[in-house]
Structure 1
Amino acid sequence: MSLYQVQKLLFNIHNDLELRQRYSSHPRAILEKYVLTESERQALLGHDMGAVDTAFDMEFLNLVKAADVEEFVRRVTPEALKKAGVATELLAWVALLGVLGPVEPAFTDYIWGKKWSSGAASMVLWKP
């Protein structure tokens, strides 16, 4: 696995507008300049972020709705982080709930969009 190369590519695309434009029109040519495994190359060329596990997402959103911070944090295990894939969202929720404490939100929603790069969005509003 060449995680460094993937991160380097993403950093370069993020910080270099010209490279980003070239990647949009000729991604294969740009990828040739990086040492990547075939699966990494295919993942970067593909537009499928994988399946969205709405049941998994709702399990955590329901804990937010119930203001059950302790249970939310208890369920954020190494296994859950691995299942989440890009687990930074779960970790961000832990930080946010740690600051707010057990406060019930005034509004929650969950939207799944097939064309979105992230797949889904959770929205929560707390009123003072």
Structure 2
Amino acid sequence: MIVKHLDDVIGTKDDVDTEGWNSRRLIFKDAGVGYSVNDTIIKPGAELEMEYRNHFETVYCIEGEGEIEEAATGKVHPIRPGTLYVLNNHDRHFLRANRGTHMRMVCVFNPPLTGREVHDETGAYALSE
């Protein structure tokens, strides 16, 4: 059994902070469960362009408000607590947090992340060996 608390991650190497987001990485590939889990903060006013070519991602919003835009169609979906979206076609997208509020998201990746990934120029994570 694996038991962790967010407090165990904050301020460690598994707490990755960037200009637009802060990802607290909770479960990694080495756990052997077939997925990874991050508790991620999208910072107020951030606009992120991403496309996970090598991973499927499911995201569940638990705090804040914003939107996700499908790059292929321009369709915009509002995000608020209780919203879930799945990037089941490796969808290129724009994720935006409203100004004045962050969005807190629980992110599940398959295949699982190692915890050391960084976004490349396309907004994707490389596939780990």
**Alignment TM-score, normalising by the size of structure 2:** 0.26
Which structure has greater helix proportion?
A: 1
Q: Which has more strand, going by share of residues? A: 2
Question: Which gives a bigger RCO, structure 1 or 2 (Cα 8 Å, sep 6+)?
Answer: 2
Query: Greater Rg, structure 1 or structure 2?
Result: 1
